[in-house]
Amino acid sequence: MSQSPSLINDCFLHDKDRLRHGEVVELIVERLHRIVDTEDVRLDSALGRYLAESVTAPRNVPLHDNSAVDGYAFTHADYAKQQTLAVGARIPAGEANPPALVQGTAARIFTGAVMPPNADCVAMQEDCGLSEDGTEVTIPAGLRPGANRRLAGEDVKAGDDLLSLGQRLRPQDIAALASLGRANVGTYRRLKVAIVSTGDELVEPGQTDALERGQVFDSNRHMIASLCAGLPVELTDVGILRDDEDNIADALSKVAADHHVILTTGGASRGEEDHIVTTIDRLGKRHLWQIAIKPGRPMTFGQVGNCVFLGLPGNPVAAFVCFLLYCYPAMRLLGGGRHKEPQRFRIPAGFAIEKKKPDRRELVRGWLEPDDSGAMVARKFRHDGSGLISGLRSADGLIELDEQTVSVEQGDPVTYIPLSQFGISLR
């Protein structure tokens, strides 16, 4: 891998035993920055990439006044005197220099065609009456000057700042670049991310139809890989590492050498079999954060040289939530993107919570639906267990209860974060 910008040493270092959600995000935004190089890519490969350049329009779009419809172009001053005009020139799309209209005539014109120099209106062909011999056209009443005419620069004017550094390219941005005549664009390279699972109890899905007592299928790794797919990353699936310290140390050392990020789930404690976290301590630096959130308190952050270590909790709901809240923004910044807080909406609660622990942010799985009166309310999944994948499957969003909230009554305004804010589609 070519030389890339370096991480700040001790990029996750902090001086508190326990951090609130806002403090964690603030530290991520403050301490992380781009660690990938740049490359030019073709537009057909640019979707979802972060821009490594700002784009200014070199010319007007459209370049010339043109017709918005198939119909008849005319001068409004002539139309004001009489609605029936002689049909003169025929102007197809692509004709560069159509002739000026003869006074008292209209030109047959097609969508996108350059407007004649002295024409300022176009009537839609289906609204017009054409004589039997096709030599005269009757324009409907009520058209104003400029009707159905697109002006040069109406979409983009030469010199406009079109796209900015660090912006993520969407399909409409690709269209804008193409409209300027761009075939390539400067982007940041994809972030190289390795996903790792550890544990003797884990079994790869598909290896067996029947689990032995104490075994579980490794679902987290596949879930995290799917979440990463919504970002401009290049994934390496390291697979399942067995609980052997030397084997784990050798594997992680190799992975850290040619990846930007290592993502793991589980093993966040200091137990005798938690070799992955002790290995990170040995190879680099690990900062075990106790975050005041539910689910996801034992989130682990660290680094091995220029490789970031993100250790997610083992429970699938906690891993899912922590990925969205912390890994997603961290990976955006590392990959050259800009930090953007997800949009939050205040919605009446369609549920009640008798008691919530203060000084802790809680993320409840939920969705929006109309109540009996037709008003939209936020519903929550019936169980709050962080091991229930069914809660994630039922959710279209997260209901965020802040540190000051101690209870929720039906109808109370709650904060709703749609999962679509993270590129996750609705059910």
- For 110-139, the pLDDT digits (tens) are 999 999 999 999 999 999 999 999 999 999
What element of type H or E holds 420? none
Asked, for residue 1, whether it belongs to a domain, the answer is: no
Task: For residue 307, count CB atoms less than 10 angstroms from its CB and return exposed for 0-12, middle for 13-18, buried for 19 or more.
Answer: buried
Q: How confident is the model at residue 1 (pLDDT cuts 50, 70, 90)?
A: very low
| Residues 339, 29 contacting (CB under 8 angstroms) | yes
CATH number of the domain enclosing 97: 2.170.190.11
Asked, for residue 277, whether it belongs to a domain, the answer is: yes
Look up residue 296 and give its two tokens.
């996801």
pLDDT in tens, 28-62: 999 999 999 999 999 999 999 999 999 999 999 99
Question: Which residues partner with 149 through β-bridges?
Answer: 67
pLDDT at 63 over 60: yes
Asked, for residue 50, whether it belongs to a domain, the answer is: no
| Residues 401, 408 contacting (CB under 8 angstroms) | yes
pLDDT at 26 over 50: yes
CATH number of the domain enclosing 380: 2.40.340.10
Q: What is the mean pLDDT of residues 83-89?
A: 96
Q: Give me the pLDDT at residue 383, please.
A: 81
Asked, for residue 56, whether it belongs to a domain, the answer is: no
Same-domain status, 233 and 313: yes
pLDDT at 313 over 50: yes
The residue type at 322: C
Edge-to-edge strand order for the sheet containing 136-138? 121-124, 71-74, 105-109, 84-91, 136-138, 129-130
CA separation for the pair 37, 171 (Å, rounded): 23
pLDDT in tens, 260-298: 999 998 765 555 556 777 888 889 998 878 899 999 888
Same-domain status, 143 and 232: no
H helices of 185-327, where? 220-228, 245-257, 275-283, 316-322
Look up residue 21 and give its two tokens.
């959600």
Q: How confident is the model at residue 427 (pLDDT cuts 50, 70, 90)?
A: confident
Same-domain status, 361 and 288: no
Asked, for residue 238, whether it belongs to a domain, the answer is: yes
- Assign 221 to helix, strand or coil: helix
Of 334, 361, 388, the position where a domain reaches its end is 334
CA-closest candidate to residue 25, choices 415, 401, 350, 330 = 330
Same-domain status, 194 and 271: yes
Secondary structure letter of residue 178 according to DSSP:
H
The residue type at 355: K
Of 280, 312, 334, the position where a domain reaches its end is 334
Of 91, 125, 150, the position where a domain reaches its end is 150
Q: How confident is the model at residue 259 (pLDDT cuts 50, 70, 90)?
A: very high
Task: For residue 216, count CB atoms less than 10 angstroms from its CB and return exposed for 0-12, middle for 13-18, buried for 19 or more.
Answer: exposed
Number of domains observed in the structure of the chain:
3
Same-domain status, 330 and 290: yes
The residue type at 346: R
Concatenate the DSSP letters of all residues of 46-63 into one string.
-TTPBBSS-EE-SS-BSS
Give the structural domain span for 201: 18-37+190-334
Q: Please give the model's pTM, rounded to 2 decimal places.
A: 0.90
Q: How far is CA 130 from the centre of its chain?
A: 50
Q: Give me the pLDDT at residue 426, please.
A: 82
Q: Mean pLDDT, the chain, as a whole number?
A: 93
- Assign 294 to helix, strand or coil: strand
CA separation for the pair 96, 85 (Å, rounded): 24
CA separation for the pair 20, 178 (Å, rounded): 44
pLDDT at 386 over 80: no
pLDDT at 9 over 90: no
For the ranges 234-243, 261-270, 302-311, 377-386, which has the lowest average pLDDT? 261-270
CA separation for the pair 231, 287 (Å, rounded): 25
Query: What sign results for the dihedral spanned by CA atoms 98, 103, 106, 112?
Result: positive
Same-domain status, 356 and 415: yes
CATH number of the domain enclosing 298: 3.40.980.10
